[in-house]
């Protein structure tokens, strides 16, 4: 019987290093060069920018597909078309995957689905955020139904993880067909210039409808950040998109059982900004930029706006207040006078629900004349879309604060974090006008008979408007009836909000037992 001869330990280590190098080469030098020629980074280069240096721990780097059709048996690569693993951003752990375009165009295969599904399972068990770097031609059609099944597993896990761990999709290349639904299920989508997303491509659209459209015009970053609202952020480059991802993670907790990360306060909690006292114009029809209010009230330089290009009549984003993360929402008088419409309703409601899911307090600044009137809005379903806002605020159990800076009229006043949908504290500036409708419109209805035919109609109408505003639109009238907790000087807003959040830091609200509610769609 011959004696067994095992490889020397050094030989085994050499074999391991060889296989590691092979996995790191992915599709090979030529395809890496082709990726660079297009001005794009490889999957591993992107991970090197996103993660803290040396922190990536890869999972399943040698896994390969099992298919043979269409020459796939001659195109097997270690790790297949995705790099999966975990690492750190600013010292905090997260799970991450990066589609590798150098391997069969980053196509979504059975193996890619299995690797990403395994990663999501680990992230849920460990309670860490998930970031996906997307660059793929879509489903690997050579694998048929196996690729589709892998998509199904991913979508199911995206749904199960929703509200438990934050999920971020970073679009760094194409994303077409069914593959767009995974980013669509995640909490935030960041699109780099040159990336695109669409259900059906330009050629199919031209064949079916006759419309001719380019990739960027159909589903580029500008379209999805400014028109469709699919993308929450747009970036000028891959590097900027990855830096933005790191910045966004700094505002998010690891999971729904943890508070958001708090920083040591670097701004005076008692800081008074006298500029706020004169920021709201005396003329109710004159606009001002609500972003100026946000920048002056919260910790300096902390405002990260979300959905900046979409539904600009509403503003949402993350800020810090005395070091604590807060979700800020506001009407924007600079755009459509801050009116609420379909897109603004969706934007506000989704941001509220994300913040509530991840223990982020809400601060709302109100200046809206109402919902946008018109046949287009009514036929588009403004009723069900507007109902999303009141549902989201009513459902939220995190600390909720509101500041009425000027107009708060009718149904829009109710839905924008008003007192009796259980906002904890509502403040008003002296410029606040809280009423069923604007004074001018109310006078036209209430005093139509008295004004009819009067030679001094204009002067009498002005007197009625002033009287109505004083009795029904004054913040003091609202405060006297308990609809407002206090009327404050605008410069006092920062210390007032800090004190309120300190009070509500350990807020607990019991919920009635139920499977889940049914949010308006």
pLDDT in tens, 73-123: 777 778 888 999 999 999 999 999 999 999 888 888 889 999 999 999 999
* pLDDT of res. 2: 60
Q: Which of 153-167, 314-328, 335-349, 501-515 has the lowest mean pLDDT?
A: 501-515
Q: Under 8 Å CB-to-CB from 23, ≥6 apart: which residues?
A: 61, 62, 78, 79
User: Stretch 362-378: mean pLDDT, rounded?
Assistant: 96
Are residue 103 and residue 68 in the same domain, yes or no? yes
Residue 42 falls inside a structural domain: yes
Are residue 343 and residue 203 in the same domain, yes or no? no
- Between the ranges 16-25, 394-403, 427-436, 458-467, where is the mean pLDDT highest? 394-403
Q: What is the CATH number of the domain that holds 51?
A: 3.90.226.10
User: Stretch 206-223: mean pLDDT, rounded?
Assistant: 92
264 burial type by CB count under 10 A (0-12 exposed, 13-18 middle, 19+ buried): exposed
Structural domain of residue 333, as residue ranges? 274-432+484-504
Report how many domains make up the chain. Answer: 2
* pLDDT of res. 452: 76
Residue 475 falls inside a structural domain: no
Residue 304 falls inside a structural domain: yes
Helix (DSSP H) and strand (DSSP E) numbers for the chain: 20, 17
Q: Is 209 helix (H, G, I), strand (E, B) or coil?
A: helix
What is the rounded average pLDDT for all residues in the chain?
Answer: 92
Residue 44 falls inside a structural domain: yes
* pLDDT of res. 307: 98
Are residue 133 and residue 190 in the same domain, yes or no? yes
* pLDDT of res. 395: 96
Residue 68 falls inside a structural domain: yes
* pLDDT of res. 70: 67
Residue 376 falls inside a structural domain: yes
Residue 85 falls inside a structural domain: yes
Residue 46 falls inside a structural domain: yes
Domain stop point among 249, 284, 301:
249
Are residue 368 and residue 307 in the same domain, yes or no? yes
Are residue 27 and residue 108 in the same domain, yes or no? yes
Q: Decide if 56 contacts 93 (C-beta within 8 A).
A: no
Provide the β-strand partners of residue 408.
368, 434
What is the percent of the chain with per-residue pLDDT over 90, rounded to a whole number?
73
CA–CA distance, 123 with 106 (Å, rounded to integer): 22
Are residue 196 and residue 307 in the same domain, yes or no? no
Distance of alpha carbon 377 from the chain centroid: 24
Are residue 396 and residue 342 in the same domain, yes or no? yes
CA–CA distance, 167 with 183 (Å, rounded to integer): 9
State the pTM of this model: 0.93
Are residue 103 and residue 232 in the same domain, yes or no? yes
Note the helical H segments in 26-96. 29-37, 43-50
| Confidence class for position 67, pLDDT limits 50, 70, 90 | low
Are residue 40 and residue 100 in the same domain, yes or no? yes
For the annotated catalytic residues, the residue numbers are 177-178, 411-412
Q: Which helix (H) or strand (E) holds 238?
A: helix 238-249
- Between the ranges 5-14, 61-70, 305-314, where is the mean pLDDT highest? 305-314
> Is the confidence at residue 404, as pLDDT, over 60?
yes
Are residue 244 and residue 304 in the same domain, yes or no? no
Are residue 336 and residue 210 in the same domain, yes or no? no
Are residue 172 and residue 108 in the same domain, yes or no? yes
CA–CA distance, 360 with 325 (Å, rounded to integer): 7
What is the percent of the chain with per-residue pLDDT over 70, rounded to a whole number?
97
Provide the β-strand partners of residue 96.
85, 131
CA–CA distance, 344 with 363 (Å, rounded to integer): 17
């Amino acid at each position: 019987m011959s004696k067994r001869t095992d490889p020397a330990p050094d030989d085994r280590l050499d074999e391991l290093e060889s296989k590691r190098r092979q996995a790191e080469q992915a599709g090979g030098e030529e395809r890496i060069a082709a990726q660079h020629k297009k001005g794009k980074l490889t999957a591993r280069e992107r991970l090197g920018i996103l993660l803290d240096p040396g922190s990536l721990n890869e999972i399943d780097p040698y896994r390969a597909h099992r298919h043979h059709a269409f020459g796939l048996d001659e195109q097997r690569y270690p790790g297949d078309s995705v790099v999966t693993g975990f690492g750190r951003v600013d010292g905090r752990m997260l799970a991450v995957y990066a589609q590798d375009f150098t391997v069969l165009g980053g196509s979504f295969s059975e193996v890619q689905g299995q690797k990403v599904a395994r990663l999501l399972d680990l992230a849920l068990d460990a309670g860490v955020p998930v970031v996906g770097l997307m660059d793929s031609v879509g489903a690997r059609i050579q694998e048929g139904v196996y690729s589709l099944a892998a998509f199904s597993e991913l979508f199911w896990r995206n749904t199960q993880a929703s509200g438990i761990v934050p999920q971020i999709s970073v679009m760094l290349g194409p994303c077409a067909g069914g593959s767009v639904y995974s980013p669509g299920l995640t909490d935030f989508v960041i699109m780099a210039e040159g990336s695109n997303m669409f259900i059906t491509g330009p050629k199919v659209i031209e064949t079916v409808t006759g419309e001719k459209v380019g990739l960027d015009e159909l589903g580029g970053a500008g379209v999805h950040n400014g028109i469709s609202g699919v993308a929450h952020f747009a970036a000028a480059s891959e590097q900027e998109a990855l830096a933005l991802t790191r910045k966004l993670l700094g505002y998010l907790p690891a999971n729904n059982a943890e508070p958001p990360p708090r920083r040591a306060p670097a701004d005076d909690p008692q800081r008074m900004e006298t500029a706020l006292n004169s920021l709201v114009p005396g003329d109710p029809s004159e606009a001002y930029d609500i972003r100026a209010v946000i920048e002056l009230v919260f910790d300096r330089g902390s405002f990260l706006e979300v959905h900046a290009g979409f539904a600009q009549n509403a503003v949402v984003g993350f800020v810090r207040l005395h070091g604590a993360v807060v979700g800020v929402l506001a009407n924007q008088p600079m755009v459509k006078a801050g009116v609420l419409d379909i897109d603004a309703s969706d934007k506000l409601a989704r941001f509220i629900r994300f913040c509530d899911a991840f223990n982020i307090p809400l601060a709302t600044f109100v200046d809206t004349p109402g919902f946008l009137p018109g046949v287009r809005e009514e036929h588009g379903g403004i009723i069900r879309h507007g109902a999303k806002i009141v549902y989201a605020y009513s459902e939220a159990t995190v600390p909720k604060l509101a500041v009425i800076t000027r107009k708060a009229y009718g149904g829009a006043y109710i839905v924008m974090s008003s007192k009796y949908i259980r906002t904890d504290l509502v403040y008003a500036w002296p410029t606040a006008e809280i009423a069923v409708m604007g004074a001018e419109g109310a006078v036209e209805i209430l005093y139509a008979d008295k004004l009819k035919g009067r030679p001094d109609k204009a002067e009498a109408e002005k007197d009625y408007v002033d009287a109505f505003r004083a009795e029904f639109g004054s913040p003091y009238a609202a405060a006297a009836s308990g609809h407002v907790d206090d009327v404050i000087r605008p410069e006092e807003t920062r210390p007032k909000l800090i004190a309120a959040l300190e009070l509500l830091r350990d807020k607990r609200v019991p919920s009635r037992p139920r499977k889940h509610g049914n949010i308006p769609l």
